[in-house]
């Protein structure tokens, strides 16, 4: 009887170790949870939303325009922002309009902000890569991205911290899982 109990305990210990390993594997290489702190991505993401960030796809492909990404802003802090400019592009904002390589690009996720902006001030102040982004680039270099918060008037983004190196990108925000009233996927 004692031998059977020991065998059962050993099975439970093995199962527990395998489960811990699988959790570590998923968290290290596939998905991580993260909490939104602050209003910089409002209304798409609001303070205290909890997200699932998927890490695997950027191992296989590069970020695309308008992806919502999480990246290391400092050694202690990760930021959540939207990709606006890709490597090899020029980016400029004039009168609340985005121009990429001198072509107007619509930002449908800002429609509500722009319609609600009842002030005489612009929602996104005019800037271009050479004037308004640290580093004063003419073109976004290979391996770098320009990111902005959706709440342009209250966001610490590439306008302050510069272009984001590809190696600092953790993954793409895919899903809001908390609070329940905000559960949704992010496209």
Catalytic residues: 40, 81
25, containing H or E segment: helix 2-29
| Cα Rg of the chain (Å, integer) | 21
Rounded to whole angstroms, what are the CA distances from 9 to 1, 16, 157? 13, 11, 52
**If residue 29 lies in a helix (H) or strand (E), which one and from where to where?**
helix 2-29
Q: What is the C-alpha to C-alpha distance for residues 74 and 83, in angstroms, rounded to an integer?
A: 18
Residues 6+ apart with CB under 8 A from 184: 175, 176
């Amino acid at each position: 009887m004692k031998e059977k109990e020991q065998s059962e305990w050993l099975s439970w210990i093995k199962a527990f170790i395998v489960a811990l390993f699988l959790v570590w594997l998923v968290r290290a290489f596939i998905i991580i949870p993260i909490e939104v702190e602050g209003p910089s991505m409002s209304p798409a993401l609001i303070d205290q939303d909890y997200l699932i960030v998927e890490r695997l796809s950027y191992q296989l492909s590069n970020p695309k325009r308008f992806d919502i990404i999480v990246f290391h802003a400092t050694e202690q802090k990760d930021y959540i922002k939207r990709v606006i400019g890709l490597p090899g592009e020029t980016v400029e904002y004039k009168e609340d309009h985005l121009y990429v390589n001198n072509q107007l690009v619509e930002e449908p996720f800002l429609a509500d902000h722009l319609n609600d902006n009842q002030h005489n001030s612009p929602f996104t102040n005019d800037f271009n890569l050479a004037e308004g982004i640290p580093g004063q680039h003419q073109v976004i270099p290979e391996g770098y991205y320009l990111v902005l918060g959706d709440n342009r008037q209250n966001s610490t983004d590439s306008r302050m911290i510069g272009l984001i190196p590809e190696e600092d990108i953790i993954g793409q925000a895919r899903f809001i899982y908390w609070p329940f009233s905000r559960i949704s996927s992010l496209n």
